[in-house]
Amino acid sequence: MKITGNKLYQRVAASITAAIEAGRWSPGTRLPGERDLAEEYKVSRPTIREAMIALEMKGWIEARHGSGLYVTKREHGSGQREDSLNFDVGAFDLTEARILFEGEAVALAAVSISDEQLAEIDQLLIEMGADDSNEPSVMDADRRFHLAIADATGNEAVRSVIEYLWDLRTRSPLAANMFARAKRGGITPRVEEHRPIVAALRARDPHAARSAMRKHLRGVVDDLLEATELEALERTRSEIDARRDSVARRLKIGSV
């Protein structure tokens, strides 16, 4: 099934809500698995995950522990569907944009950064690794680290764009929800991933700086994939355990 519309995850989510309203999946029905939906809608599994999270946030579906995703029993007015799924950008799209913008920004910074700015970035790196247990402090240092690099470009437009992308992490409900899920999975900024960026800046090497930043941000994508995959795996694992217990009880009855 091909889909058209606005953002890709929104088009998938809107198509699924239309199918729910048309009766394809009635309230209480379990939705097909992620892989099956990805094949049906001709999109990636991360896009399906973003669509499912958006639908879950708006109450169209619910996750049942050890079972999967089910259509909820509440009434859905067809007139609200388009507005209710307007969640702006998801974490995958946001991080992809950061790879593009911050990759080029750090390359520009590498040829214009001052010693004072390098010293500031060094200090932020220390703050980031000072207390792993203080998650808000680490997150704040991470944000200031990246914005300090944007400052070092000497280009206010570049700095404004990168600050806007960072603000979207909390302003976009879908992105905020996905990053929160990653946080619950124990995923936080890792200081060692930032060290090669600083080393490239100190060497005034724009190519190495760009490569290091892109590698770091691709790691963020991998972390998000792992976090959302772990939730799905946990549901599957719980379902398998429940089935195993059921079979064991049946076998026990038969042996009496």
| Residue 64 phi, psi dihedral angles, 5° rounding | -105, 125
CATH, domain range 8-84: 1.10.10.10
Q: How confident is the model at residue 246 (pLDDT cuts 50, 70, 90)?
A: low
Under 8 Å between Cβ of 85 and 6: no
Fold: same for 8-84 and 91-231: no
pLDDT of residue 254: 46
d(CA 246, CA 17): 34
The residue among 49, 61, 58, 54 whose CA lies nearest residue 20 is 61
Q: List the Cα angle 139/140/143 in 5-degree steps.
A: 85
CATH, domain range 91-231: 1.20.120.530
66-95 tens-digit pLDDT: 678 899 875 544 444 444 455 677 888 899
91-133 tens-digit pLDDT: 888 998 999 999 999 999 999 999 999 999 999 999 888 766 6
d(CA 218, CA 96): 8
Under 8 Å between Cβ of 197 and 212: yes
Residue-range domain boundaries for the chain:
8-84, 91-231
178-195 tens-digit pLDDT: 888 777 766 667 788 899
